[in-house]
């Protein structure tokens, strides 16, 4: 366990540094958008391209990973929406609660963390989950969020806008370009590749620091906007579902799929389980704010899962090993 904590501790420590810097205003809140822009448009695409180009195309776009990950993501959405609607939440809040339960922080945290723990072979299944969650899981949840008085037409329009957002997001394109480079065995010329390498090396520390800063900003803005903080029963069950139910669901579905003959090796299944054990994606708070959902509730779920996953994720790694 100690050797696992020696790997995971620096990652979570950088998140804590970003959180403290924003909370104490050592980092102006206005600057966080710039950090996020650097990670989203420069550093993280470079890192995803590099790992995609170095990963065999068959592992990067593995149908077995899709067959396990997508049903689990949709089940998490269905379970969380059902629970939230039963508690009286409107579709908008229920949908983004479902997204924060089903979408791990794979890009900013998962890729560098899992590669540090398991080696470069973990890149393929991990990156594949990013494509699935960005293109399908997010679009489904955004469409569901528009069902409040908008009907199916509003949901369809929301899904169209969500897919348009995916098309403008550089991360899927970086993954696809990396896969194309891998398939064709092509590499950029040395000066360009050197630039990509520098940006990729900056992705992990800046992304982790930015996660903490974004969490602090979301919490501060939510506290200013709301009169009364959400009660624990409004966000704690969703946080527990993300950290406990999601990885157990992936493990169960993956084991069943292997028993039925799906060509999913044990290593890839282990990677998928650990991806599911990651905390919630920090960008869901920004999406929730854009669509008018309860950002205070979403921010608390992300903050709680990020803090608790230092222990739960490390335990999951120990159990999977």
Q: Cα(237)–Cα(139) distance, rounded to whole angstroms?
A: 23
Tell me what percent of the residues of the chain surpass a pLDDT of 70. 90
- Look at residue 57 in the predicted model and tell me its pLDDT: 80
Phi/psi at 244 (5° precision): -115, -55
The SS3 call for residue 260 is coil
> To the nearest whole number, what is the mean pLDDT of the chain?
86
Q: Cα(106)–Cα(131) distance, rounded to whole angstroms?
A: 10
Residue 227 has pLDDT above 60, yes or no: no
Nearest CA among 27, 263, 291 for reference residue 157: 291
pLDDT category at 162 given cuts 50, 70, 90 is low
Mean pLDDT calculated for residue range 188-207: 90
Q: Pick the range with the lowest mean pLDDT from 55-69, 111-125, 138-152, 204-218.
A: 138-152
Q: Cα(194)–Cα(1) distance, rounded to whole angstroms?
A: 36
Residue 78 has pLDDT above 60, yes or no: yes
- Look at residue 195 in the predicted model and tell me its pLDDT: 93
Phi/psi at 27 (5° precision): -110, 115
Nearest CA among 86, 41, 68 for reference residue 251: 68
Residue 168 has pLDDT above 60, yes or no: yes
- Look at residue 166 in the predicted model and tell me its pLDDT: 65
Q: What share of the chain is helix, strand, coil (3-state, %, to 5)?
A: 85, 0, 15
Residue 203 has pLDDT above 70, yes or no: yes
DSSP 15-81: HHHHHHHHHTTSS-HHHHHHHHHHIIIIIHHHHHHHHHHHS-HHHHT-HHHHHHHHHHHHHHHHHHH
Q: What tokens does 110 get?
A: 């998962």
228: DSSP letter: S
* CB environment 113-126: b (16+ within 10 A), e (fewer): bbbebbeebbbbbb
Domain count, the chain: 1
Q: Cα(124)–Cα(110) distance, rounded to whole angstroms?
A: 12
Residue pLDDT, tens place only, 14-45: 999 999 999 998 989 888 888 888 988 899 89
Residue 152 has pLDDT above 60, yes or no: no
- Look at residue 312 in the predicted model and tell me its pLDDT: 92
Q: What tokens does 193 get?
A: 């590749």
Q: What tokens does 118 get?
A: 């398991």
Q: What tokens does 71 get?
A: 């049903």
Q: Which domain holds residue 22?
A: 2-320
109: DSSP letter: I
- Look at residue 60 in the predicted model and tell me its pLDDT: 78
Query: Residues for the chain: how many in total?
Result: 321
Q: Cα(21)–Cα(150) distance, rounded to whole angstroms?
A: 41
Q: Pick the range with the lowest mean pLDDT from 102-116, 205-219, 221-235.
A: 221-235
Contacts of 248 (CB under 8 A, 6+ apart): none
CATH of residue 224: 1.20.1530.20
- Which carries the bigger pLDDT value, residue 158 or residue 249? 249
What element of type H or E holds 239? helix 232-240
pLDDT category at 256 given cuts 50, 70, 90 is very high
- Look at residue 244 in the predicted model and tell me its pLDDT: 95
- Look at residue 185 in the predicted model and tell me its pLDDT: 81
- Look at residue 199 in the predicted model and tell me its pLDDT: 93
Burial class (CB in 10 A: 0-12, 13-18, 19+), 128: buried
Residue pLDDT, tens place only, 39-76: 888 998 999 898 888 888 878 788 999 999 999 999 99
- Look at residue 156 in the predicted model and tell me its pLDDT: 66
Residue 280 has pLDDT above 70, yes or no: yes
Phi/psi at 90 (5° precision): -70, 165
Residue 90 has pLDDT above 60, yes or no: yes
pLDDT category at 158 given cuts 50, 70, 90 is low
């Amino acid at each position: 366990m100690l050797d696992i904590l020696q790997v995971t501790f620096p990652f979570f420590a950088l998140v804590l540094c970003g959180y403290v810097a924003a909370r104490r205003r050592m980092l102006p809140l206005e600057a966080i958008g710039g950090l996020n822009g650097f990670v989203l448009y420069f550093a993280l695409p470079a890192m995803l391209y590099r790992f995609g180009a170095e990963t065999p195309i068959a592992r990067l776009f593995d149908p077995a990973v899709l067959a396990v990950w997508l049903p689990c993501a949709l089940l998490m959405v269905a379970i969380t929406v059902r629970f939230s609607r039963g508690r009286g939440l409107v579709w908008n809040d229920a949908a983004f609660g479902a997204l924060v339960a089903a979408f791990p922080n794979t890009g900013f945290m998962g890729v560098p963390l899992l590669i540090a723990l398991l080696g470069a072979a973990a890149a393929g299944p991990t990156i594949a989950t990013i494509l699935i969650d960005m293109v399908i899981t997010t679009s489904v949840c955004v469409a569901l969020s528009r069902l409040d008085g908008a009907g199916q037409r509003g949901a369809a329009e929301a899904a169209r806008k969500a897919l348009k957002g995916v098309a403008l997001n550089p991360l899927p394109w970086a993954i696809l370009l990396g896969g194309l480079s891998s398939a064709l065995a092509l590499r950029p010329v040395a000066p360009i590749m050197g630039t990509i390498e520098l940006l990729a090396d900056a992705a992990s520390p800046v992304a982790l620091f930015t996660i903490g800063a974004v969490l602090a900003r979301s919490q501060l803005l939510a506290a200013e906007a709301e009169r009364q903080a959400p009660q624990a029963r409004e966000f704690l069950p969703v946080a527990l579902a993300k950290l406990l139910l999601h990885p157990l669901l992936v493990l169960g579905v993956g084991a069943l799929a292997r028993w039925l003959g799906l060509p999913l090796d044990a290593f890839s299944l282990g990677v998928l389980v650990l991806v599911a054990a990651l905390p919630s994606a920090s960008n869901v708070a920004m999406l929730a704010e854009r669509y008018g959902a309860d950002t205070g509730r979403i921010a608390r779920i992300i903050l709680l899962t990020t803090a608790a996953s230092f222990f739960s994720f490390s335990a999951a790694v120990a159990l999977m090993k």
